[in-house]
Amino acid sequence: MIHTTAILAMSADGKLTDYSKAPSSFVSKDDQDHLEAQIAQADAVLFGAGTLRAYGTSMSVRSPDLIQARRDRTQPDQPLQIVCSQSADLDSSYPFFSQPIPRGLLTDASGALKWGDRPEFDVVLAAETSPFDWRVIFTELEELGIKKLALLGGGQLVGSLLCAGLVNELWLTICPLILGNQLSPTPVAGPGFLIENAPKLQLIQSLVVKDEIFLHYKIK
């Protein structure tokens, strides 16, 4: 089975960014290094189209030490970077499409028709149902040899995988600022959970680096 780790960062009051929903710029170099280290463990990275549109790129493994560690584990230098977009409405001019990484697209049948015969993606997965049946999709990912998956957001994607019971661990960075406002996005979106069926967390590790707190949870 695929082991999924969500890697997220938020303000001290639980926001991904401010109410303008501009790309988040408050994470530190320490958090970026932590994110890269986690991505370097994965066979594939999964993120939503909104995340791609906001940043235009994806986090690749750049550290020579991390790349060598991947080679030592017989992994390719870079994990497969999979963008999830039901509409597949993506701009091929994004820098993402010129990064030296393998790229994947998770979409529906019509989205697969847009991109299936084009060179931008190495792998195109077409979901047969809407909303996506994540257990079927994870079976297809396993068939591609993916055993460890890094989940980077956005909130709707994280929420849907939590609802499907397919997230095993969570790394959460708490950054030292307060953003407020009910319109500011949060790390987990979607319909949400009632208290009695909310995912329960077990704290595995906590780290304080300067003014940031890194929390590592197992999802029970």
pTM (global) more than 0.75: yes
pLDDT at 205: 98
Overall fold of domain 3-83+146-219: Dihydrofolate Reductase, subunit A (3.40.430)
Express each pLDDT in 25-75 by its tens digit.
Answer: 788 999 999 999 999 999 999 999 999 999 999 999 999 999 999 999 999
In which residue ranges of the chain is pLDDT below 50? none
16-38: burial string, b at 16+ Cβ within 10 Å, e else: bbbeeeeebebebeebeebbebb
Task: Tell me if 132 sits within 8 A of 105, measured CB to CB.
Answer: no
167-189: burial string, b at 16+ Cβ within 10 Å, e else: bbbbbbbbbeeebeeeebbbbbb
pLDDT at 25: 78
State the alpha helices, DSSP H only, in the chain. 29-39, 49-55, 64-72, 109-115, 134-143, 155-163
How far is Cα 93 from Cα 67, in angstroms, rounded to an integer?
Answer: 27
pLDDT at 6: 98
Q: Are strands 103-108 and 80-84 parallel, antiparallel or unpaired?
A: parallel
